[in-house]
């Protein structure tokens, strides 16, 4: 089964998740092509399965991912495809945060015309060591509100790698 993974990443966690998915699939001998949505990604028409992911920033997904999905929605709707949404709100214990992330994902699907039934909400990471002073303060304030890590001297990763692996393997028909 030939798999295409397209991703859009601002801080690198979505890229890291996409690369992890690629490794999982290649370990199961699935030929996999991975591409950043900003770097002229291949059309999905020559692939059996398509996985597309983006992080949420300021309540929006990566514009290159949005353009890719909009331009290829007919093909995506005719093949097995999944959307992986990367968002820190998923790590929150506040139900409204999860609901908001789900609404943003559904709005994205509605706007692009993509009718996938498979949406994975994946917690991202706080990359405090990469933020400028003001972003660090803002992210710390958000993390505190959501019950997340506020130690800005190091990065904090919330991605559940086991769940990501199970989701991908189950999607391509491998029981875990």
pLDDT digits (tens, 9 = 90+) for 153-170: 888 888 999 999 999 999
The DSSP secondary structure of 99-167, one letter per residue, reads: HHHHHHHHHHHHHHT---S-EEEE--EE-GGGS-HHHHHHHHHHHHHHT----TTS-EE---HHHHHHH
The pLDDT > 90 percentage for the chain reads 65
The pLDDT score that the predictor gives to residue 32 is 97
Angle at 91 between CA 85 and CA 77, to 5 degrees: 15
| N-term to C-term CA, the chain | 17
Assessment of whether the complete model's pTM goes beyond 0.85: yes
The pLDDT > 70 percentage for the chain reads 99
Q: What is the pLDDT of residues 105-143, one digit of tens each?
A: 999 999 999 999 999 999 998 888 888 898 888 888 888
The pLDDT score that the predictor gives to residue 175 is 61
| Domains recognised in the chain with CATH numbers | 3-124+159-171 (3.40.50.360), 125-158 (no CATH)
- pLDDT bin (cut points 50, 70, 90) of residue 176 is low
Cα Rg for the chain, rounded, in angstroms?
A: 16
- pLDDT bin (cut points 50, 70, 90) of residue 174 is confident
């Amino acid at each position: 089964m030939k798999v295409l993974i397209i991703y859009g990443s601002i801080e690198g966690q979505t890229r890291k998740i996409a690369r992890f998915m690629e490794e999982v699939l290649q370990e199961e001998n699935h030929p996999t092509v991975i591409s950043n949505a900003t770097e002229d990604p291949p059309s999905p028409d020559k692939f059996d399965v398509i996985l597309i992911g983006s992080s949420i920033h300021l309540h929006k997904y990566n514009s290159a991912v949005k353009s890719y999905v909009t331009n290829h929605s007919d093909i995506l709707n005719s093949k097995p495809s999944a959307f992986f949404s990367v968002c820190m709100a998923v790590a929150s214990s506040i139900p409204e945060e999860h609901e908001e992330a789900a609404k943003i994902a559904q709005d994205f699907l509605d706007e692009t015309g993509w009718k996938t039934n498979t949406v994975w909400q994946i917690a991202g990471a706080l990359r405090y060591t990469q933020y400028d002073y003001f972003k660090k303060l803002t992210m710390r304030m958000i993390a505190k509100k959501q019950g997340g890590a506020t130690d800005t001297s190091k990065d904090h990763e919330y991605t559940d790698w086991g769940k990501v692996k199970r989701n991908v393997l189950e999607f391509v028909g491998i029981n875990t």
